[in-house]
Amino acid sequence: MTDLLELPIATLAQKVRRGEVSAAEVAEATIAAILRDDDRLGAYLTRSFDELRARAIQLDLRRAQGEQLGPLAGVPIGVKDAFATKGVATTCASRILVGPGGRPWIPPYDAAAVTRLLAADAMIAGKCNMDEFAMGSSTENSAFFPARNPWDDSRTPGGSSGGSAVSVAAGMTPGALGSDTGGSVRQPAAFTGVVGVKPTYGRVSRYGLVAFASSLDVVSPFARDVRSAALLTEAIAGHDPRDSTSADRPVGTYVAACERPLAGLRVGVPSQYFAAGIDPDVEASVRGALDQLASRGATLVPVSLPHTEHAVAVYYVLAAAEASSNLSRFDGVRFGARVASGGLDELYERTRGQGFGAEVKRRVVLGAYVLSHGYYDAYYLQAQRVRTLIARDFDAAFVDVDVIAAPTTPTPAFKLGDKIDDPLTMYLSDVYTLPASLAGLPAMSVPVAPTPATDARPSLPVGLQLIAPAFDEEALFRAGAAVERIVSG
């Protein structure tokens, strides 16, 4: 049954629409796959099987009554636990949203992206594991348990949307929803060998996504292939007045863009993304794919993004500043499980002291520091200025090229435990994904040839990152589909 879940999303939805397979059968296949693998892989924090079955029955009923179901008919989706889901626990992998009594927050509403998926007749399989409040690159900052990489379960699937990536990579669901603030969808996609798309900032409504760094957070889908990712992007994109940063621009035809020919595409290759520290097998795999793009009609153009080296510092100042402000709502009064005590200060202290994990506290303290009187100009304001320079680097490069191609990450999936005690090393692993986030640009990770197996490590996935001009997701899907054709031979 599980091969159903490995079909391209459009094919699966068509089977359900035509009645060749029922939504109930798809739901049971999903449940079987999760029960088979997930105790080992830790992709789900909440398995909402009752809701999944009820939804499937409802879809099958509507079809039986003659209704034409939507583009995601009966397609099961794993949803990162950072999205509000009506009636289903939402924890952001944090104890502060669960509380000492073990009762999680149950949102009274759905996030906009979830509403859109449901409007296209998808089904939700459950809530996926993540780094607490999306802060991290390995899913080890989950307050509950880490997620594991299906290629080698001693390794991380990446993060922060690690659970969503694993759900897709392990064949539990054909698609998943994540959020990408500095790489949290592209990096786990690269580490687990699936496609992860971060649309342009503002392309998808953030309504109902628990805020981490509001100027950077982007709702982002995962799928097993580029066309399926395009279909999901089309389903969730579009203006929403409930998010004031949501862009009022027409949504493109992303699935159709996958069919556009490669010939004539100008692909920029930034020297700064092949710098010291890159794993030689990752570099070889990405360069191999680029050479093949060139041999099939793309033009490779060397480009320079000179401020790349500052992206890590800039991001970790700005994201922490925004997080310290956003997370102030978790005070045990408005949001967050209250830890009762005598005075108000003590209540805040105990609630936040016991509710937040170490990485979240580190960011809140760092963010408060860079925003404080006397340091604001030196850190926060300076970081804003350099953010502008990073965005201008891209503007200059896109004068000559349609899309930029580079590795998604400098290394393949690292071992659980390897970086968790060294935050700086963990932060440095985001070096290639942060610039596109700071510039607000659409970007995607597509699997290319995995690394060769050696005595030191098994064969592991490698992601090629594509970055396009703002609101030109079509360029991303055109190039991404071409890379995929090359890799699949």
Least distance CB 137 / ligand GLN (angstroms): 4
Residue 150 is a binding residue for ligand GLN (CB under 6 A): no
Confirm whether 220 is a catalytic residue: no
Q: Which of 376, 414, 398, 384 is nearest to 139 (CA)?
A: 414
Q: Which of 94, 137, 142, 326 binds ligand GLN (CB under 6 A)?
A: 137
- Would you call the peptide bond into 160 cis, given omega within 30 degrees of 0 as the criterion? yes
Size of the site for ligand GLN (CB under 6 A): 13
C-alpha 357/C-alpha 45 separation (Å) is 17
**Catalytic position from the list 80, 127, 198, 419:** 80
Residue 182 is a binding residue for ligand GLN (CB under 6 A): yes
Asked if residue 182 lies in contact with residue 451, where contact means CB atoms within 8 angstroms, the answer is no
Least distance CB 151 / ligand GLN (angstroms): 20
Give me the residues paired with residue 404 across strands. Answer: 268, 467
> Between residue 192 and residue 251, which ones bind ligand GLN under the rule CB under 6 A?
212
Strand ranges of the sheet holding 299-303, from the earlier edge strand across to the other edge: 44-47, 123-128, 76-80, 175-180, 218-223, 195-198, 443-448, 462-467, 403-407, 266-270, 299-303
Confirm whether 184 is a catalytic residue: yes
Residue 142 is a binding residue for ligand GLN (CB under 6 A): no
Neighbours of 26 (CB within 10 A): 29
Least distance CB 319 / ligand GLN (angstroms): 5
Q: Which of 219, 192, 139 is nearest to 446 (CA)?
A: 192
C-alpha 87/C-alpha 84 separation (Å) is 9
| Nearby residues of 17 by Cβ (< 8 Å), 6 or more positions away | 63, 68, 69, 73
Residue 134 is a binding residue for ligand GLN (CB under 6 A): yes
Residue 156 is a binding residue for ligand GLN (CB under 6 A): no
C-alpha 327/C-alpha 190 separation (Å) is 29
% helix / strand / coil in the chain, to the nearest 5? 45, 15, 45
Decide whether 218 or 226 has the Cβ nearer to ligand GLN: 218
Collapsed DSSP state (helix, strand, coil) of residue 205: coil
Residue 430 is a binding residue for ligand GLN (CB under 6 A): yes
**Catalytic position from the list 184, 205, 285, 437:** 184
Residue 180 is a binding residue for ligand GLN (CB under 6 A): yes
For residue 413, the 8-state DSSP code is: P
Residue 140 is a binding residue for ligand GLN (CB under 6 A): no
3-state secondary structure 416-483: CCCCCCCHHHHHHCCCCCHHHHHHCCCEEEEEECCCCCCCCCCCCCEEEEEECCCCCHHHHHHHHHHH
Candidate ranges 175-183, 272-280, 291-299, 346-354; the one touching ligand GLN (CB under 6 A): 175-183
Decide whether 17 or 198 has the Cβ nearer to ligand GLN: 198
Decide whether 30 or 181 has the Cβ nearer to ligand GLN: 181
Decide whether 22 or 138 has the Cβ nearer to ligand GLN: 138
**Catalytic position from the list 48, 94, 142, 160:** 160
C-alpha 368/C-alpha 134 separation (Å) is 18
Residue 319 is a binding residue for ligand GLN (CB under 6 A): yes
| Token pair listed for 24 | 């109930």
Least distance CB 135 / ligand GLN (angstroms): 5
Least distance CB 486 / ligand GLN (angstroms): 28
Residue 165 is a binding residue for ligand GLN (CB under 6 A): no
Residue 445 is a binding residue for ligand GLN (CB under 6 A): no
Asked if residue 420 lies in contact with residue 426, where contact means CB atoms within 8 angstroms, the answer is yes
Decide whether 105 or 427 has the Cβ nearer to ligand GLN: 427
The residue at minimum Cβ distance from ligand GLN is: 184
Residue 473 is a binding residue for ligand GLN (CB under 6 A): no
Confirm whether 160 is a catalytic residue: yes
Least distance CB 238 / ligand GLN (angstroms): 22
Annotated catalytic sites, by residue?
80, 160, 184
Q: List residues binding ligand GLN (CB under 6 A).
A: 134-137, 160, 180-184, 212, 319, 430
